[in-house]
Amino acid sequence: MQPRIVFGTHYQVDEPAYMEFLVKRCTSPVQSTYREVVEQKFAQEVRARGQDFNTPAGRYAVDLARGLGLITPNNIWTDKGHLVNLIAEVDSGQEFEEQLVLTLPERLLHFRVFLEADGAALLFLARRLIQRGALVNPDTTWNLVAQEMFVEAYSDYLVITNNTADRVKLRREIDRIKNKGYEGNSGSHKSFIHMQTLCRLGLVTRVNSGGSRVYRLPEHPAGIQTGLVTLVDQIPNALALEKVINDHKPIEVAASVLQIAFSHYLEDGVAPGAESLLPMLIAYYQQIMSTGAPLCSLSTVIEAMQIDLLARKSQLLPYDAAVQSIVVAQKQHPKEIRFHVDRRGQPAFLKLSDDFLREYSEEKSSL
């Protein structure tokens, strides 16, 4: 079991929106690309927006995208890369700062992506801010923050990891970081992406957006807890984090942490009928398949629907309820709706027949 924390980062690659640039403008859903090509394209994307950016730092952007599970080692979109393509908006015509501000769908998207890949870091920083009110002070530097963050994250996972090889690796990393620590700008490199993501999610505030890195908890009316407190309440430790990810609950947690007022997308307390989800499902399916992808990830479609409903209609669609509805639809149309299963025999990919899509389009146009 690997700790959910992104290791290789860089102070210049500190914005979650950069991952939208990299996926949508610098990589392909189906065609492999040399790493150096992606690095150069990304640097050009940032500089085209009037920003100074070192081309060598582009490799850290690629590392971050891989660490977040957005692209494969061949720099092709993963299922989560397709989710970024469905949800993210990239508009080079806006002012640069406006391009970095996340819309509500993008906040839900990045919460989901970073929680799975970087949740241990986000939880450490949340606890630190809640307990101490600040991350750095005259007695604490970013180097110390980074050292404590990785040691605590790796130690938490050492407790819940049973695999001998993983335990040996974790112990070795803990000892190495304790003994060596970080020097120079290393702590800044390893801290800023996590903090800036929390800032863009609206969970912390940055006192001076263009200056020194001073982050604080946002002010809330008396009696209303901050989103970080909710995050730590719902995910108190590494074991709880693993359960949230494995049970497909990130969007449900996001709804509470980002303090979105919502109603449950249920019909009489049960899973929604397939007919009510079909328009969204088909729309996202067609978008994915139009990229040339051979199959459509079931999780990508469902998470796109979850984000769409929560952001646009303030309705929360539980993942399991969506799966149940699609399974019912598949049983009703076994030749038109097919599943490809994963190694555990669970539905993982979706394939809709051309006849089914054609009939749906004709019915829709006749209305």
Digit-coded pLDDT (tens) for 99-108: 999 999 999 9
Unique residue bearing structure tokens 């309440």 = 233
pLDDT of residue 243: 97
- pTM comes to 0.93
pLDDT of residue 208 exceeding 90: no
Phi, psi of 77 (to 5 degrees): -60, 135
Contact predicate 319/248, CB 8 Å = yes
Helices of type H across the chain: 17-21, 35-47, 58-67, 79-87, 96-100, 104-132, 142-160, 164-180, 186-200, 227-234, 238-246, 250-257, 274-289, 298-313, 319-332, 354-366
Q: Percent of the chain beyond pLDDT 90?
A: 68
The pLDDT mean for the chain works out to: 90
* Amino acid sitting at position 105: P
Within a 10 A sphere around the Cβ of 115, how many other Cβ atoms? 24
> What's the rounded Cα separation, in Å, for the pair 358 and 364?
10
Out of 8-17, 176-185, 354-363, least confident range: 354-363
Interior/surface letters 182-194, b for 16+ CB within 10 angstroms, e for the rest: beeebbbbbbbbb
Q: Which domains does the chain have, with CATH numbers?
A: 17-97 (no CATH), 102-245 (no CATH), 264-366 (1.10.10.10)
- The answer, yes or no, to whether residue 217 has pLDDT greater than 90, is no
pLDDT tens digit sequence for 283-333: 999 999 999 999 999 999 999 999 999 999 999 999 999 998 898 888 888
Q: Tens of pLDDT along 117-144? A: 999 999 999 999 998 877 776 667 899 9
Q: What is the pLDDT of residue 254?
A: 98
Asked whether 103 and 201 are in contact (CB, 8 A), the reply is no
CB-count burial class (<10 Å; 0-12, 13-18, 19+) for 31 = exposed
How far apart are alpha carbons 264 and 250 in whole angstroms? 15
Listed in sequence order, the residues at least 6 apart from 55 whose beta carbon sits closer than 8 Å to its beta carbon are 39, 40, 43
95: pLDDT confidence band, cut at 50, 70 and 90? confident
Residue 132 vs residue 202, higher pLDDT? 202
Q: Rounded to the nearest 5 degrees, what angle is found at the Cα of 198, between the Cα atoms of 309 and 95?
A: 80
